[in-house]
Amino acid sequence: MISTMMDVPLSLNHLLERAGTIFGGNPIVSRLPDKSLRRHSYAQYHRRTRALASALQRLGLRKGERVATLCWNHHAHLEAYFGIPAAGGVMHTLNLRLSPDEIGWIAADAEDRFLIVDDILLPLYRQFAQAHAFERVIVFPFSGAPVPGEFDDYEALLAEADPDGFVYAPHAETDPTSMCYTSGTTGRPKGVVYSHRSTVLHTLVGCLGDIWDLKGSDVLLPVTPMFHANCWGMPYGAVMMGAKIVFPGPHLHPDDLLDLMQLEPPTMSLGVPTIWMGLIQTFEAAQATEPGRWKMPTGMRSLVGGSAVPESLIRAFARHGITLGQGWGMTETSPLATVSYPRAELKDAGEDEAFRRAAMAGSPVPLVDIRIRDDDGHEAPHDGRMPGEVQVRGPFITGSYHQVPVSGDKFTADGWLRTGDVATMDELAYLRITDRTKDLIKSGGEWISSVDLENALMAHPAIAEAAVIAIPDPKWSERPLACIVWKQGQAADAQSLGVHLLQHGFAKWQLPDRFEVIDAIPRTSTGKFWKLKLRERFPS
């Protein structure tokens, strides 16, 4: 017997047409370099995106060819999200926080044919222009200034295009739509290539009530850069549901975000923990000096990810009526793999347990299989105690890297992704990330979790940030060293920090041997603690 269902491929083009047909009146707002707001309707967005696709085809873009973007978060970047695949191309988001050398290397590795670049990022482009020859450089006049004559003008291309006559490039659902490079704290960045299928499935899963809970009535503020794992896939979700989007443009300073929240109060936002730490510190400092300057968007939910979210940060926002939700994932997982959300099983468990759970990575989302493997390759029990490597499998998980041979350190023989993260899983299938494999501290034959120590330290009232690394030790093999950043005007001594950690349930042998006070934790281009730099600074 065979199924009688239609053979209709999953397609981003369906989501775009849907948005234009159903949600034509809903707004998309972008903050420009001069901080003014530009508004488009979804109907205009739909038409401009088809115009972009038509223009790219006229420029000779062929099936599967890469179009890079070097852009902040704004409506034209969203046009690229759908317009490049609509033309049959593959959107490749370049990370503007990388070094110019690295950007150039990545563009060459991806063999990007065209580039769409914000005019205000042309100085950055010129620093890597010699590393890779784009056939066309299309400049988006984000600032409103005239586009220099040697480049293509994005708006002129759209004005000359034929959105009504445009015909979508035919495609199979497994055809590629976009690519991102891993942030690569070790080794060269590697390309992950998403498809219509993986992106639509990821979007459907993400929008579910227990995951992002994204509805057409939401107002989405995406602070996560659109070059960071496709902005965690949220822009695709907003277009599918017809949600209003408020793009912050290049203005990511806490003052700017708080100003924007007054003008366009969001109901949903997303960003890395650093952003939210800065925001709450700025807000609470202003409450003392300038009360009434800002109001928090009470009722807002925010998805926080990219690195572990300390419970203290979740509690701090909860006091302002804002729910921080936590997810775990990576470029390789599209990126959504787990989410922590209020589970029915815990409705009577009390507030402390709720916060404790909220600070965990959460449970696997639909379509994602997760297993925890110990060093011997056995599946760890779901007891919340036995850690192992997190391995992942599913239709929006990468099975290889662009033009890199599949290797055993990245994929298991039975086809699961080896994430390099170490975690426990408990009886409710909550994942708790204890470390990156390479960040675990092995002391006297026992493992110490650097992440647990960091979270406990960041709950101390004097500490703004903390990162823990291993240093070699002749007796114990490795011992923890804690790098501390004080909150402004605050400090504490090592002994009181030790007492604080003991109160948080650590054993005496797990306490850091040393506390080093530093000005700032070095970060990777995507905002994660860059422990490699700390290990270089504190080799012993």
Would you name the residues annotated as active-site residues? 182, 332, 442, 447
> Least Å distance between CB 174 and its own copies?
6
> Least Å distance between CB 75 and its own copies?
18
> Least Å distance between CB 228 and its own copies?
18
> Least Å distance between CB 234 and its own copies?
14
Q: Which of 244, 410, 418, 531 binds its own copies (CB under 8 A)?
A: 244
User: According to the binding rule CB under 8 A, does residue 299 interact with its own copies?
Assistant: no
Tell me the C-alpha distance between 155 and 176, whole Å.
26
> Least Å distance between CB 263 and its own copies?
18
Count how many residues are written for the chain: 540
For residue 118, the Cα-to-chain-centroid distance in whole angstroms is: 21
Q: Which of 38, 315, 393, 523 binds its own copies (CB under 8 A)?
A: 393
Report the site for its own copies in 204-233 (rule: CB under 8 A): 204-205, 207-210, 213-217
User: According to the binding rule CB under 8 A, does residue 444 interact with its own copies?
Assistant: no
505 φψ region: left (φ > 0), alpha (ψ -120 to 50), beta (else): left
Q: Which of 16, 23, 313, 497 binds its own copies (CB under 8 A)?
A: 23
> Least Å distance between CB 230 and its own copies?
13
Report the site for its own copies in 73-132 (rule: CB under 8 A): 90
User: According to the binding rule CB under 8 A, does residue 399 interact with its own copies?
Assistant: yes
Total residues binding its own copies (CB under 8 A) = 80
Amino acid making up residue 157? L
Tell me the C-alpha distance between 307 and 291, whole Å.
31
User: According to the binding rule CB under 8 A, does residue 2 interact with its own copies?
Assistant: yes
CB atoms within 10 A of CB 162: 13
User: According to the binding rule CB under 8 A, does residue 3 interact with its own copies?
Assistant: yes
| Strand locations in 216-279 (E) | 219-222, 244-247, 268-271
Report the site for its own copies in 145-184 (rule: CB under 8 A): 174-177
Contacts 24+ apart (CB under 8 A), 380-385: 380/424, 380/425, 382/425, 382/426, 382/427, 382/429, 383/424, 383/426, 383/427, 384/424, 384/425, 384/426, 384/427, 384/430, 384/432, 385/424
End-to-end CA gap in the chain: 67
Interaction mask 306-345, its own copies, x per CB under 8 A: -----------------------------------xxxxx
User: According to the binding rule CB under 8 A, does residue 407 interact with its own copies?
Assistant: no
User: According to the binding rule CB under 8 A, does residue 504 interact with its own copies?
Assistant: no
SS3 at position 70: strand
Of 455, 515, 467, the residue nearest 491 (C-alpha): 515
**Phi and psi of 245, rounded to 5°?**
-120, 140
User: According to the binding rule CB under 8 A, does residue 303 interact with its own copies?
Assistant: no
Tell me the C-alpha distance between 394 and 333, whole Å.
9
Span of 247-255, 314-322, 394-402, 475-483 interacting with its own copies by CB under 8 A: 394-402
User: According to the binding rule CB under 8 A, does residue 10 interact with its own copies?
Assistant: yes
User: According to the binding rule CB under 8 A, does residue 264 interact with its own copies?
Assistant: no
Of 513, 511, 518, the residue nearest 537 (C-alpha): 518
The single-letter DSSP state of residue 173 is T
Q: Which of 108, 133, 285, 429 binds its own copies (CB under 8 A)?
A: 429
> Least Å distance between CB 138 and its own copies?
20
User: According to the binding rule CB under 8 A, does residue 65 interact with its own copies?
Assistant: yes
Q: Is residue 365 a contact partner of residue 338, using CB atoms and an 8 Å limit?
A: yes
User: According to the binding rule CB under 8 A, does residue 397 interact with its own copies?
Assistant: yes
